[in-house]
Amino acid sequence: MQPLSVTLGDRSYPIHIGADLLNDEKLYAQYVASRNVAVVTNRIVAPLYLERVQRAIERAGGRVVPILIEDGEQAKAWATLDQVIDAMLAARCGRDSVVVALGGGVVGDLAGFAAAVYQRGVPFLQVPTTLLAQVDSSVGGKTAINHARGKNMVGAFHQPLAVIADVAALDTLPERELRAGLAEVLKHGFILDLQFVAWLEANIGKLLARDRAALEHAVRRSCELKAQVVAADERESGLRAILNFGHTFGHAIEAGVGYGEWLHGEAVATGMVMAAELSTRAGTLRREDADRVKALVARAGLPVRGPKLPVERYFELMQVDKKSAGGKLRFILLEGLGRAALRGDLAPDLVRDSIAAAR
């Protein structure tokens, strides 16, 4: 299939989507030939795909430096960042080196941030192996690690050379991870494309059954939608904020229960239900459309109720949200299915009631 393009002037890059791309040496050659290549992956993905990717890169003329990190959200930390940078320095990786992020969203965020700061910035490739990473976190150049006070609080915008999304890698994805990835697929429909919502309602069973054609369509349409938004607002100064639909609540859930207890997609799924409820209470979304959001989230096998943290604890955790301005919380609301907007004029009690309704 023809690659998509994220159009950002001299930072533009392709998104390659298809099956059996991980071992495509011709694809890698244009990015890694005659370079040191730090392949960052984790101890779950490495036994599955590291050898295959390493062989392809070496055939393409790259010298591979494999770097294995721990699995899970806890790996998005200073200590892991230091581990990656130390390994690159030990291997004498220069500024002409390339970092390859082989794994899910955690690996992509961490490896991308390492590339952004190593010797003031080196190029990197996103090679996502989870559905969530293929449809969302690998596209757009957001890289980060977590802080004890909030998720993704330390990071940089650093666009990749390319994204290589091999849907065949989803065959080995655990069921829970597949469902978590569907949360971000649903999100793109809810905020940007009513027709895609209808397609998802008709095809959610095929996606859960890992139908290859359905998955390729879902990945491609999600990347198309996100690429359009990123091209219009690379650094999230306006429009791009809508891609965080459900995330203000979701990040609070992740931090409140401890990173790793809930998968990111699970927290976002519940966050979208809370945000749809808030949209209805704020008068921007019909109740029947909020019910469609909740029903599709449930059909994807994702949670529709958040943990029973005190409502005030949710508020406390949301105060560090990056969309806040002037000390006030701002939320992404739906103005109908397929349309979203940033709002900062909501009464706190309206937010509290929305949390309580889905807690």
> Concatenated DSSP letters for 107-167?
HHHHHHHHHHHGGG---EEEEE-SHHIIIIITSS-EEEEEETTEEEEEEEE---SEEEEEG
**In the chain, count of helices (H) and strands (E)?**
13, 11
CA–CA gap between residue 51 and residue 232 (Å, rounded): 38
Q: Active-site residue 23, yes or no?
A: no
331: part of which helix (H) or strand (E)? strand 331-334
Q: What's the rounded Cα separation, in Å, for the pair 55 and 225?
A: 33
Average pLDDT over residues 109-121: 98
Q: Which CATH code, of 1.20.1090.10, 3.40.190.10, 1.10.10.60, 3.90.850.10, is assigned to 175-357?
A: 1.20.1090.10
Report pLDDT for 327: 67
Is 240 catalytic? The answer is: yes
Q: Is 188 a catalytic residue?
A: no
Q: How many whole angstroms separate alpha carbon 238 and alpha carbon 172?
A: 37
Based on the residue annotation, tell me whether 251 is a catalytic residue of this protein: yes
Is 80 exceeded by the pLDDT of residue 322? no
For all residues of the chain together, what is the average pLDDT? 95
**Active-site option among 142, 220, 281, 322:** 142
* CA 140 centroid distance within chain: 9
Short-list 132, 216, 123, 166, CA closest to 23 = 166
| Catalytic residue (one of 151, 158, 220, 226) | 226
CA distance 135 to 173: 14
Q: Please identify which of the residues 76, 179, 264, 322 carries the catalytic annotation.
A: 264
Residue 233 pLDDT: 94
Residue of 73, 177, 236, 266 with catalytic role: 236
Is 152 an active-site residue? Answer: no
Q: Is 206 a catalytic residue?
A: no
Rounded to an integer, the average pLDDT of 75-91 is 98
Q: How many CB atoms lie within 10 A of CB 89?
A: 11
Task: Quote the percentage of the chain above a pLDDT of 90.
Answer: 88
pLDDT one-digit tens code per residue, 173-220: 999 999 999 999 999 999 999 999 999 999 999 999 999 999 999 999
Among residues 35, 151, 221, 247, the one annotated as catalytic is: 247
Architecture of domain 4-172: 3-Layer(aba) Sandwich (3.40)
Has residue 229 got a pLDDT over 80?
yes
- What's the confidence (pLDDT) of residue 142? 95
Q: Which of 23, 36, 42, 244 is catalytic?
A: 244
Question: Which one of the listed residues 35, 177, 179, 184 is annotated catalytic?
Answer: 184
pLDDT given at position 359:
87
pLDDT, average across residues 286-312: 96
Residues of the chain within CATH 1.20.1090.10 domain(s) are 175-357
> How far apart (Å, rounded) are the C-alpha atoms in residues 50 and 17?
19
Which candidate in 26, 92, 120, 308 is catalytic? Answer: 120
> Which one, of 142, 40, 138, lies nearest residue 81 by Cα?
40
Q: Delimit the CATH 3.40.50.1970 region(s) of the chain.
A: 4-172
Classify each residue of 241-262 as buried b or exposed e, where b means 16 or more C-beta atoms within 10 Å of its C-beta.
Answer: bbbbbbbbbbbbbbbbeebeeb
**Which residues make beta-bridge pairs with 162?**
125
| Reported pTM | 0.93
Is 247 a residue of the active site?
yes
Burial class from Cβ neighbours inside 10 Å (0-12, 13-18, 19+) for residue 217 reads middle
Nearest to 268 by CA among 131, 165, 160: 131
The C-alpha atoms of residue 124 and residue 259 are separated, in whole angstroms, by 26
Per DSSP, the three-state class of 25 is helix
Question: Per residue in 53-72, pLDDT tens?
Answer: 999 999 999 999 999 999 99
- Nearest Cα to Cα of residue 273 among 259, 253, 255, 257: 253
pLDDT confidence of 148, banded at 50, 70, 90?
confident
